[in-house]
Amino acid sequence: MLSDPTPRLATAADWLRYREARLRMLADSPDAFMTTLAQAEAQGEEFWRGRVGGTFPTWLVTDDTDTAGDAGAVVATGGVFVPEPEGHAPTAHVVAMWTAAEARGRGLAARILEVAVDWCREQGLDEDLRLHVTEGNALARRLYLRHGFSPTGAWEPLREGSPLRCEELRLARPDADSGDAEG
């Protein structure tokens, strides 16, 4: 049950809860992520603490079934990754979007995506905001298109050895296609 489905920013204290969610998402949807379950299982506590308490944000939605007063299990997640720029403005990437099967259809992914896009705008990182969606994941692709992302035409393998490909989508900037010339 979700009494407050508002995404909250994860902290290093959430590392174990996030790890459990990440392992669950990789088991649930192995063809939706570049990382494999085996790769994630091999990571230690330091990796997971850095993943949720590091430089780039991860948002969580938890259920409220924990009777001890703590948040329950993670039922939706998403984040933003910004690699070091190489001589140009940084490109931000929405990553690790996932909603547990029992929580799907409640708009949680849309809420997390909106929070992630807002965070990028606040940080000045919406100039080049991208994400990847695995071919065949029509539900996720429709979500991203509804929120202003559009295909770039670029495709890449999901991961080495996988026959699946990922389509790159980029957030359309409202002023980018205005056609107004300054002069």
Domain assignment present for 3: no
Query: Across the strands, what pairs with 168?
Result: 132
| Count of the separate structural domains present in the chain | 1
Q: What is the pLDDT of residue 144?
A: 98
Domain assignment present for 56: yes
pTM: 0.88
The runs of H, that is alpha helices, within 5-137 are: 15-28, 37-41, 45-53, 108-122
Domain assignment present for 35: yes
- The residue type at 134: T
Domain assignment present for 182: no
Lowest-confidence region among 27-31, 76-80, 152-156, 177-181: 177-181
- Rounded to the nearest 10 degrees, how much is the dihedral formed by the CA atoms of 87, 91, 92, 95? -110
Structural domain range at position 78: 8-171
Query: Among residues 27, 128, 26, 12, which one has the least CA distance to residue 60?
Result: 12
Distance CA 51, CA 53 (A): 6
Q: What is the pLDDT of residues 44-83, one digit of tens each?
A: 999 999 999 888 899 999 987 555 556 688 999 999 999 8
Query: Among residues 48, 102, 49, which one has the least CA distance to residue 75?
Result: 102
Domain assignment present for 176: no
Say which CATH number the domain at 64 has.
3.40.630.30
